[in-house]
Amino acid sequence: MDNHTTDPIIDLNDPAFYINRDLSLLAFNRRVLAQAKNEQIPLLERLNYLSISSSNLDEFFEVRVASIIEMAAIDPKAIAIDGMTPGEQLKQIAIHAHALVEEQYQVLNETLIPQLAAQNIRFVRRKDWSPAQHKWLEHYFNRELLPILTPVGLDSAHPFPRILNKSLNFIISLTGKDAFGRNSGRAILQAPRSLPRVVCLPAAETHSGPYDFVFLSSIIHAFVNDLFHGMTVKGCHQFRVTRNSDFFVDDDAIDDLLLAVQGELAMRNYGNEVRLEIDADCPEDTVSFLMERFNLTTDRLYRVRGPVNLNRTQEISSLITDRPDLKFSPFKPSVPAPFGRNKNMFAAIRRSDMLLHHPFEAFTPVIEFLRQAAEDPDVLAIKQTLYRTGVDSPIVAALIKAARAGKAVTVVIELRARFDEKANIDLASKLQEAAVHVVYGVVGYKTHAKMCLILRRENNELRNYVHLGTGNYHPKTAQLYTDYGLFSADKDLGEDVRRVFAQLTSLGKVTKLNKLLQSPFTLHKGLLDKIEREIGHAKNGKPAKIIIQVNAVVEEQLIKALYRASQAGVVIKLIVRGVCCLRPGIPGLSENIEVRAIIGRFLEHTRLYVFANDDNREVFASSADFMSRNMFKRVEICFPIENKKLQTRILHGLEWYLRDNNQVWLLQPDGSYQRAQQQKGEEAIEAQSKLLSELQA
């Protein structure tokens, strides 16, 4: 009799093996909020983390929740990879989001406000105003607010006004009659966005501390009676409505993408309502009135104990200029020696590929690269993609200067970079005025690749210089986001980039690329092939390891490939900032997979893929995350880091992330995250701080 038993076959389609992407996104926001409670972080920075968690939650409702609501209406029986229908997802989201909002206000009221007060930074409540403060605020209301506030009494001639997305509003209960004998009982007051949400009391005039603040909502509450002469205000309660802000452009039904985006942009502030935030003390009848007006159910109602828009607390940090002890220590990013002052960028890049790691290293060499190209008589053409940047960016100034110098400048602008559409439309207009050739990418696909190509004549032949990055060409975010950028004069790489630009600007067919992987054509298959190759190595007893650092792991086929790799014995280390639908540590499935998330001073934005490949190591950087949209609905590039020194440098940086025991969270098989604990006698390691000290040195 054969006593041999085989391991049970695991069904990779089992929903139990996958985490819901939206619950994972809420878990990311909980990790951000945890920074607001972290005593190791300077106090004003902790207030910023609270604001960031609130801003992230706004976008979550505007985009993700809105899309699930739409799916629930279109296809209520649709099943996600984790087995939930849209309705089931909305129920779970409501549970987790309400808990998160409750925690946000708890952190504000019970932790941050008392600790700020201990540092003489106070939020002065109405009941605590001194006579001098009350007098000054009343004068401020009459001078600065009263002339521009327009309350709307609700009656047949004054219907309920359109409420702007995420605007501060008040619903006011009234008794008595107005000058015309009307008695509607209710009014709506909208606070214009031009008004500051936080007012700093002048110390000399009000005998206040140096940083005594009052919320705009408190000022309006205190003096709202002055807006309703002859009537009595019985109640005044702030509220805010979040709307669906993800617009749709039918690529097959438009003639001009720019006009179509402009048209949709105008409607963004008035999309369908998805959430109502309201003062926790608002009476039930008033809440019910608003809920009915906005056609919302109770699971989308959020009662809050504080300002309805926590994002505005971020203004505090910029108003406090003389307390460096409450902020992160300033740092000056380093500039690698080959890119020092007055150095010829093209000569440096010809000698060797160069790598920049932002924000530890400066973004200025990227700007200098374009500035020198604009002034160099041997440069004939510049081609660049722009996803997010600023109209006043030095990058844009260099491109305009190059065009005015007679160089052929082509810019591919992605108009539909979410929430940057208006800035990108303005940018396109400015570039076109300077005779820059502007195109908007490929119909149906966002251009998300970050690449710049400079064509230069040298010794009677043309040479390509490229910059390829994991992040946007935006000098400000380059100070806040971690990203890599590669400079190279490699002939094959340059030819690949030229071909990709040709795809984007013409209607030509895809041509084979030498070194780049590109979505939506070769990137997904290329990654699957490389994972399968590691599986083969592991089965043959050869070194097999995968390290991936991305913002999100969602795409189903890639997750299944990683599961198969784990089953084959491949060691897999995933550093995933945000959403991760993969469950690590499940016996027989993913016990060889570790997932860690870093939440630190800088936003982790890098995308790196490393494959051991039987000691013939391959290292890639990319603009793409492990998401379906990156693989199939965007133009992305993935570029090899072939220089051995640069490979070693990247692996050294990754090693810090894999050893971090201070700012790292480990994903558990049940989908929860646990903060890593420094073991007794173990060196305290914070990856971002290590890189900052190393690269500044």
| 348 and 450 inside one domain | yes
Whether the predicted pLDDT of 536 surpasses 50: yes
Whether the predicted pLDDT of 166 surpasses 60: yes
Lowest mean pLDDT among 33-37, 225-229, 464-468: 225-229
Lowest mean pLDDT among 98-112, 301-315, 534-548: 301-315
Average pLDDT of the residues in 84-109: 97
Facing residues of 235 across strands? 173
Average pLDDT of the residues in 322-332: 93
Say how far apart CA 606 and CA 550 lie, in whole Å. 6
- The DSSP code sequence of 178-231 is -TTS---SEEEEE--TTS-SEEEPPHHHHT--TEEEEEHHHHHHHHGGGGSTTS
| 313 and 378 inside one domain | no
Annotated catalytic residue, options 237, 448, 474, 524? 448
Residue 3, in any domain of the structure: no
Residue 68, in any domain of the structure: yes
Average pLDDT of the residues in 521-534: 98
pLDDT of residue 696: 80
pLDDT tens-digit map of 580-630: 999 999 999 999 999 999 999 999 999 999 999 999 999 999 999 999 999
Tokens 């108009």 map to which residue? 415
Average pLDDT of the residues in 331-358: 92
Whether the predicted pLDDT of 60 surpasses 90: yes
Tokens 């860690």 map to which residue? 596
Of 266, 296, 326, the position where a domain reaches its end is 326
Highest mean pLDDT among 69-78, 176-185, 261-270: 69-78
User: Phi/psi of residue 67, each to 5°?
Assistant: -70, -35
Whether the predicted pLDDT of 382 surpasses 60: yes
Residue 331, in any domain of the structure: no
Residue 565 sits in a domain whose CATH number is: 3.30.870.10
| 444 and 542 inside one domain | no
Q: How far is the CA of 105 from the CAs of 121, 223, 279, 312, 496, in angstroms?
A: 18, 25, 12, 14, 51
Instruction: Quote the tokens at residue 333.
Output: 């990013």
The larger pLDDT score, comparing residue 178 to residue 165, is at: 165
pLDDT band at residue 6 under the 50/70/90 scheme: very low
Residue 510 DSSP class:
P
Mean pLDDT of the chain: 91
Residue 2, in any domain of the structure: no
A 10 A CB-CB count for 325 gives: 10
Q: How far is the CA of 625 from the CAs of 175, 535, 642, in angstroms?
A: 57, 21, 21
Q: Which residues neighbour 450 within 8 Å (Cβ) at sequence distance 6 or greater?
A: 385, 387, 468, 469, 470, 471, 472, 473, 623, 637
Tokens 């071909």 map to which residue? 499
Average pLDDT of the residues in 640-646: 98
Are the C-beta atoms of residues 468 and 639 closer than 8 Å to each other?
Answer: yes
Say how far apart CA 535 and CA 567 lie, in whole Å. 9
Cis peptide before 359 (omega within 30 of 0): yes
Average pLDDT of the residues in 99-113: 97
Whether the predicted pLDDT of 254 surpasses 50: no
Global pTM reads 0.93
pLDDT band at residue 257 under the 50/70/90 scheme: low
The larger pLDDT score, comparing residue 587 to residue 155, is at: 587
Residue 270, in any domain of the structure: yes
Residue 555, in any domain of the structure: yes
Residue 567, in any domain of the structure: yes
Whether the predicted pLDDT of 182 surpasses 70: no
| 179 and 297 inside one domain | yes
Question: Residue 25 in 3-state DSSP?
Answer: helix
pLDDT of residue 1: 42
Lowest mean pLDDT among 78-82, 227-231, 388-392, 437-441: 388-392
Instruction: Give the domain range for residue 198.
Output: 18-326
| 359 and 304 inside one domain | no
| 630 and 652 inside one domain | yes
How much of the chain, in percent, has pLDDT values that exceed 70?
93
Look up 437 and say whether it is catalytic: no
| 509 and 523 inside one domain | no
The strand pair at 634-640 and 517-519 is best described as antiparallel
What angle separates helix 687-696 from helix 644-659, to the nearest 10 degrees? Answer: 140
| 53 and 106 inside one domain | yes
pLDDT of residue 367: 95
Average pLDDT of the residues in 116-131: 95
Say how far apart CA 523 and CA 541 lie, in whole Å. 27
Residue 233, in any domain of the structure: yes
| 591 and 492 inside one domain | no
Say how far apart CA 300 and CA 317 lie, in whole Å. 31
| 349 and 308 inside one domain | no
Lowest mean pLDDT among 225-239, 485-499, 658-672: 225-239
pLDDT of residue 157: 65
pLDDT of residue 506: 85
Average pLDDT of the residues in 420-442: 83
pLDDT band at residue 271 under the 50/70/90 scheme: confident
Element containing residue 695 per DSSP (H, E): helix 687-696
Residue 45 sits in a domain whose CATH number is: 3.30.1840.10
Q: Which residues neighbour 367 within 8 Å (Cβ) at sequence distance 6 or greater?
A: 394, 395, 398, 475
Q: Looking at the 3D structure of the chain, how many domains does it have?
A: 3
DSSP H helices, 352-469, are 364-375, 394-404, 421-433
User: Phi/psi of residue 8, each to 5°?
Assistant: -65, 145
Q: How far is the CA of 211 from the CAs of 121, 129, 441, in angstroms?
A: 5, 14, 49
| 318 and 345 inside one domain | no
Beta strands in 313-460 (DSSP E): 354-358, 379-386, 408-413, 437-439, 446-447, 450-458
| 29 and 163 inside one domain | yes
Of 281, 305, 326, the position where a domain reaches its end is 326
- The DSSP code sequence of 145-174 is ITTT---EE-BTTBPPPPPPTT--EEEEEE
Of 463, 496, 514, the position where a domain reaches its end is 514
Average pLDDT of the residues in 208-230: 93
The strand pair at 450-458 and 517-519 is best described as unpaired
